Structures are given as C-alpha cells and as structure tokens.
Chains A and B, each alone.
Chain A
Amino acid sequence: MSLLSLRHLTTEFYSGGRWLEAVSDVSFDLLPGEILGLVGESGCGKSTIAYSVMRLLASNARISGGEVWLGDVNLTDASEDALQDLRGSRLSMIFQDPMTALDSLFTVGHQVIETLQEHLALDPPAARERALDLLRQVGIPAAEERLKAYPYQFSGGMSQRIALAIAISCHPQVLIADEPTTALDVTIQAQILHLIRRLLVEEQGAGVLLITHDLGVVAQVCDRVAVMYAGKIVEFGAVDAIFRDPLHPYTQALLNSLPSQGIQRGALENIRGRVPSLDDRPTGCRFHPRCPHALAICREEAPPLLRRDGGQEVACVLYD
C-alpha cells in the first residue's frame, strides 16, 4: 500500500565535537495519490528528512537509526549505484532553488532530453518529442525555442517548471518537494502547486511529500500533514481534521499565530520563547518550556506519538 515508509528515522549532524540529533524517531507512510505535507518552523528538521530519504545528506551527517523503505527497497542500506538508478526514476526531488537541479552550462533541452534517454532508454528523436510534450504540460510557452535556452534565461517560476518537468519525466512514484514555491510569487506558486497535483497525483497516482512552512499551502493542497517541532513529529493526520481541531498545543499555537481572515488588529497569539537549537533540546516533551499547558511530568517524559479514535496522531500527555 504505502509508497514510502519511514520507520524510526533518526539523523544526526557532527558539530562542535559531537553528534547532534536533527531528526528523532520519525515514522510515517506516504500513500499513492496523496500529497503529504511536512510543516514546521525553520530548523525543525524538514529538509534533513528529505535528504535522508534521498540519501543526499551532507558529509557531516549520518542516519543513526531507523529505516526508509521505497516499496521493497530499503533506502538506508541501498548501494550508491542502486540509489543512482532510483533517483530520477522511481524517486524524484525538487528544491526551493530550481537552479539546484539545472546545470547552467547546458541548454534546458539538453538536460531534459538527457534525463529521458538515461532513464527511459528512448532514442534521441523520441526523447526530444517527449521533452517538448513535457515542457508544454508544465505550461512553458514556445517550447520549441525554449529547448535551446540556457537556465539563466528563465525566471524563477519558469526554472521551477522545468525542474518539475525533469522530475516528472520518468513517472516517479514518489516526489519530494522541499519548499518548491517559497521563492516564487503567489500567482506562480498557485500554478506550480496545481501542476504538481494534476500531473503527478491525479494523472499518475504518485505520492508527494511536500515540505513547507506555509500553513496556507498545507490547507490548500495537502491531504494529510505531519507537524514537526524540534526534530520530532508532534501531530499527524488529515488536513481537514487538524485545521478544524488541532490537538497538540504547538499546532494550536501555530494556527493561532497566523495573521489573516477576519481577525483584524487583535493581537496575534505569541508562542513565548524561541525554537531550541540542536545542542540545547529540552528534556521530556521538547515543547514544554514554551507550552501553556505544561505539567510537571512534561519536563521528564517524552510523550510518544499516539493514535486517537478519529485517526489523528498526537504526542502530548494531555491526550494519554
């Protein structure tokens, strides 16, 4: 059933002479035909999860525990060769900065066509036809001419369309999108997110892990969402349920701190204090120093992520 399974994933960085946990014991399943949102504030470990799955971690990082399964392949102990084959075919990724995926030295056409030839074993004319088709699908006008252009000749929105075209070219089962629209204008963001949903999820039944810090994006395009705080998932479930009835005090505070609709001028809810740094993670529930409901026990025991009746999962003693 599940396309991608994370089981107790734990990832560490070596920094200041010791290993620090950036992602702690994260488990979830990505299902076919869904967009799963991964939200949380800066530094909570979202990108680290993405790079752990892709096995593209920095040299000072290691997966110290848990497993990541892509179908029946255990990515955490796959060989570099096997990973090379999977990346860009069954498993694709797009980034906040689309230039990451594009080589400035080659024309866009060259890069799209090369990917197609490599992974789909198409002859050059067929690959070219398919490339044109892809550029049209992602909404690039005058695709013929655009094939001859270099990445620097494209706006941020256009580059992200091309990165998306490359990412979807080989029909991936799983797309990991790390803040793909954060650097774009809202009208372009709307178009790109719409494309992701239509081309990947609806037409191909792929699963998308969409990393964002924008709760509006989650509400608009995601089916389920994982809310992260300081390296852990604190709440997980259907988007509708979580926005209607957020259970974890952190999710509640996050939603209440949004400036928008109707609540003109009232003070926004403050979360006191600040996100703890990696080398300074609180004991027990990591949110306890900032939590308005913290009990004495919250300082000592880390609450596990538990499933409740409606299916929503939450890690907080208030719901034990």
Chain B
Amino acid sequence: MSSTINGAEPLLRAVGLSKHFPLESSLLATLRGAEAQTVKAVEAVSLDVTAGQTLAIVGESGSGKSTLGRLLLRLMQPTTGQVLYQGNNIFRMNRRELSAFRRQAQIILQDPYASLNPRMRVGRIIREPLDIYREGTVAERNKRVDALLERVGLNSAHARAYPSELSGGQRQRVGIAAALALSPEIIIADEPTSSLDVSVQAQTLNLLAELQRDFNLTYVFITHDLGVVQHFSDRVAVMYLGKIVEEAPTETLFAAPQHPYTQVLFSAIPLPDPSRRVNWDLPKGEPPSPLDPPPGCHFHPRCPKVMSNCSTIAPRLEATAPGQRVACLLYADGAN
C-alpha cells in the first residue's frame, strides 16, 4: 500500500480498520465457553482520502459502507486498526484534540426526515453546533445561521419553520447547512441524495459541488448510486461483505473495472439509455449473509470467473496499476 498515491499526504487515512459486531445470542454462548460469533461488518480496510477531493465508497446493502463511514468519524470504536486525521490516530486523541477533530469532520445523513429533530425549528438545528462550541455571541450565531441558510439556497424565513413544514430537498439543505456551520474540512455524506427525487437530487448535488469548490471541502460519499459516483467523485472504493475489493480513480474504474464483482455491479446498473440495453441475466445469486461469509474470496459463489483456489485463498488488495488496487486472484500474479 502506498502512502502517497498522488504525492499529497492524505487528510484522512484508514489503516487495517476492522469492526466486528458480536451477535447477542452468541454472548450467552461465550459465557458457556463456546467461541463468540461475530458479524465482520468492516474487515481490514485501508484507504486514503486526499484533501479537497471526493472519495466514493460504494457497495450493496450489508457491505459495511455505513459502518466504515461511522468509524472514520469515531462515531464508534473499531475492533482493530486506526484512523489517522492529519497524521493523528483519532481513537487515541485526548479530549481537546477530539473536540477539534469533531469540528473539522462532519456528517450528512441519508434521511432528512429522520435525521433532523422534529421539535426544533430549523434555525435552532443549524445554530446548535455553534452553541455547543460557543462560537461568538448569540447575535453573531444568528447572523451566521442566516448566512448559512442563504448559502444552501434557503432564506431566513425558513429559520422559523419546523422540519415537517419543509420538502425533502429543503430538509436535506438544512442538514447540509448544519454540517457547514463550523466550517469543517471534511464531510462524510451517507447516501445524501438517495431519498430525493431526481430533480431535487440534482439541486443537492450541484450545491455540494459548489460548496466543495468554494471551501476546498473534502468529501467521503457513501452511496449505492453509481450515476452519482461517476458524476461526483475523484476516486472510488468498492466494498463487498466488509472488504474493499477494488479501489481506483473514478475514470479508470468506470472505463475498465477489474474486479469481477465491480464488473457485475456495473452491468446491473440500469443506464438511462435504451440504445444501450444490457443482459440482465448476468448477476447470479443473492449476496451471502455477513454472518457466514463464504471462505476464500467472499465473492466466489457468485463470481462468473471463479477458479478452483478462489474458495480457499482470500485475495489481498494489491496494486494492479498506478492508483488502482484489486483484491482478486485473477490479478494476483502480475501484482508483485
């Protein structure tokens, strides 16, 4: 794994990050001396996020992408591994360091309906981070709220509204304004547009792109929408059952996906172009349960290119080209 994929020191970096959730029923089993059963939601993930860029993390349900997003912000403790923010392990930070980190790293969540407190007016919701960090005087905070509302395409009248009085797109703007309140460096956006209609999604993506330009923001975009990924990100990491199976610059990945799972995933995306109809017979089987992932390469039971040793050897994520890493035995030879 290279520390300088494109020369710059990464702003955020995960090193060997894993998160295993014990199963409740297995706690009892452990007491009785049996081996604890766990879900390996995230397994030995290493990746770099470059300042000012957008890294997309894609995968289907159960691939561990949201858990990874939460680990990157220390919203939960890892089982093993580190997350380095500007070189400091966020899980080792003292209170002061952590408080500084929490200002600089914000999150935007998928469901603007669920993530905003329904009993708070919009102005309070956006002001809350400023209140917590005691930024300026109350008058200054209120002025900042108005500026933020303006910035995300709302106006000061919206400050008095409750979330229930806003449309889905407007609520997502409130979530974005609140995330921006403390002028963060990095924003982790977990499916930020997947509950929005396409026209509202377009407005939201345009806004996020503008904000990135204006404030040199770094984004980690967690999504299953490959159209959004292609439009928005610089690099992409593809996850399958807790592991990164491929990582590459967006253009490279879309031009020539290498991992068979990436290829299957891409072939299953419904392209909005009837002149490019694809054979949808291709993806076979269901994703296996994360409780009991297949041995060897987790993808082997569904893989159209499976080989005899795929069920015994777990492939490592290795560079196949500059900036591109793939975890597949098909490429294991040329890798080193």
Complex CA gap A261/B272 in Å reads 9
Establish whether residues B224 and A186, one from each chain, have CB atoms under 8 Å apart when the complex forms.
yes
Q: Which residue of B is nearest A192, CB measured?
A: B280
Residues of A with C-beta under 8 A to B61: 185
Establish whether residues A220 and B277, one from each chain, have CB atoms under 8 Å apart when the complex forms.
yes
Query: Which one of B1-9, B18-26, B91-99, B199-207 contacts A?
Result: B199-207
Total contacts A-B at CB 8 Å = 131
Which B residues from 44 to 87 make CB contacts under 8 A with A?
Answer: 60-61
Complex CA gap A32/B268 in Å reads 27
Judge whether A213 is part of the interface by a CB distance below 8 angstroms. Answer: yes
Taking a contact as CB atoms closer than 8 A, the residue among B200, B251, B269 that contacts A186 in the complex is B269
Q: Which residue of B is nearest A191, CB measured?
A: B283
Establish whether residues A261 and B202, one from each chain, have CB atoms under 8 Å apart when the complex forms.
no
Taking a contact as CB atoms closer than 8 A, the residue among A187, A219, A271 that contacts B271 in the complex is A219
Residues of B with C-beta under 8 A to A263: 231
Establish whether residues B280 and A194, one from each chain, have CB atoms under 8 Å apart when the complex forms.
yes
- For residue B78, give the distance in angstroms from its CB to the closest CB of chain A: 26
Residues of A with C-beta under 8 A to B200: 41, 274
Establish whether residues B230 and A157, one from each chain, have CB atoms under 8 Å apart when the complex forms.
no
- For residue B173, give the distance in angstroms from its CB to the closest CB of chain A: 12
Establish whether residues A42 and B203, one from each chain, have CB atoms under 8 Å apart when the complex forms.
no
Establish whether residues A240 and B274, one from each chain, have CB atoms under 8 Å apart when the complex forms.
yes
Judge whether B309 is part of the interface by a CB distance below 8 angstroms. Answer: no
Complex CA gap A259/B274 in Å reads 16
Residues of B with C-beta under 8 A to A318: none
Known contacts A186-B60, A267-B206; decide if A220 and B199 are in contact (CB<8 Å): no
Which A residues from 219 to 248 make CB contacts under 8 A with B?
Answer: 219-221, 239-240, 243-244
Taking a contact as CB atoms closer than 8 A, the residue among A190, A216, A243, A268 that contacts B206 in the complex is A268
Judge whether B273 is part of the interface by a CB distance below 8 angstroms. Answer: yes
Residues of B with C-beta under 8 A to A221: 270, 280
Complex CA gap A155/B285 in Å reads 12
Q: Which of B228, B232, B272, B283 lies at the interface centre, i.e. has the most chain A CB atoms within 10 A of its CB?
A: B272
Known contacts A193-B280, A259-B201, A269-B202; decide if A220 and B271 are in contact (CB<8 Å): yes
Establish whether residues A219 and B286, one from each chain, have CB atoms under 8 Å apart when the complex forms.
no
Establish whether residues B286 and A157, one from each chain, have CB atoms under 8 Å apart when the complex forms.
yes
Judge whether B209 is part of the interface by a CB distance below 8 angstroms. Answer: yes
Q: Which residue of B is nearest A44, CB measured?
A: B197
Judge whether A199 is part of the interface by a CB distance below 8 angstroms. Answer: no
Judge whether A258 is part of the interface by a CB distance below 8 angstroms. Answer: yes
Establish whether residues B199 and A257, one from each chain, have CB atoms under 8 Å apart when the complex forms.
yes
Interface bracket on B? 35 or more
Establish whether residues A190 and B203, one from each chain, have CB atoms under 8 Å apart when the complex forms.
no
Complex CA gap A315/B251 in Å reads 39
- For residue A149, give the distance in angstroms from its CB to the closest CB of chain B: 14
Which A residues from 138 to 188 make CB contacts under 8 A with B?
Answer: 155, 157-158, 185-188
Judge whether B333 is part of the interface by a CB distance below 8 angstroms. Answer: no
Judge whether A20 is part of the interface by a CB distance below 8 angstroms. Answer: no
Complex CA gap A104/B166 in Å reads 36
Which B residues from 189 to 233 make CB contacts under 8 A with A?
Answer: 197-203, 205-206, 209, 224, 226-228, 230-232
- For residue A34, give the distance in angstroms from its CB to the closest CB of chain B: 14
Known contacts A194-B280, A254-B199, A257-B202; decide if A186 and B231 are in contact (CB<8 Å): no
Complex CA gap A174/B204 in Å reads 38
Residues of A with C-beta under 8 A to B60: 185-187
Judge whether B36 is part of the interface by a CB distance below 8 angstroms. Answer: no
Judge whether B167 is part of the interface by a CB distance below 8 angstroms. Answer: yes
- For residue A286, give the distance in angstroms from its CB to the closest CB of chain B: 15
Residues of B with C-beta under 8 A to A157: 286
Which A residues from 250 to 271 make CB contacts under 8 A with B?
Answer: 253-255, 257-261, 263-265, 267-271
Q: Which residue of B is nearest A258, CB measured?
A: B272
Q: Which residue of A is nearest B287, CB measured?
A: A185
Establish whether residues B231 and A268, one from each chain, have CB atoms under 8 Å apart when the complex forms.
yes
Taking a contact as CB atoms closer than 8 A, the residue among A185, A240, A259, A275 that contacts B197 in the complex is A275
5 closest A-B pairs by CB: A216-B270, A259-B231, A260-B227, A268-B202, A257-B202
By a beta-carbon cutoff of 8 Å, the part of chain B in contact with chain A is 60-61, 167-169, 197-203, 205-206, 209, 224, 226-228, 230-232, 250-251, 264-265, 267-275, 277-278, 280-284, 286-287
Extra A-B contacts (20), CB below 8 Å, given A216-B272, A219-B273: A42-B168, A42-B197, A190-B267, A215-B198, A216-B269, A216-B270, A220-B274, A220-B278, A253-B199, A255-B272, A258-B202, A260-B231, A260-B272, A263-B231, A264-B230, A264-B231, A264-B250, A267-B209, A270-B202, A271-B199
By a beta-carbon cutoff of 8 Å, the part of chain A in contact with chain B is 41-42, 155, 157-158, 185-191, 193-194, 213-221, 239-240, 243-244, 253-255, 257-261, 263-265, 267-271, 274-275
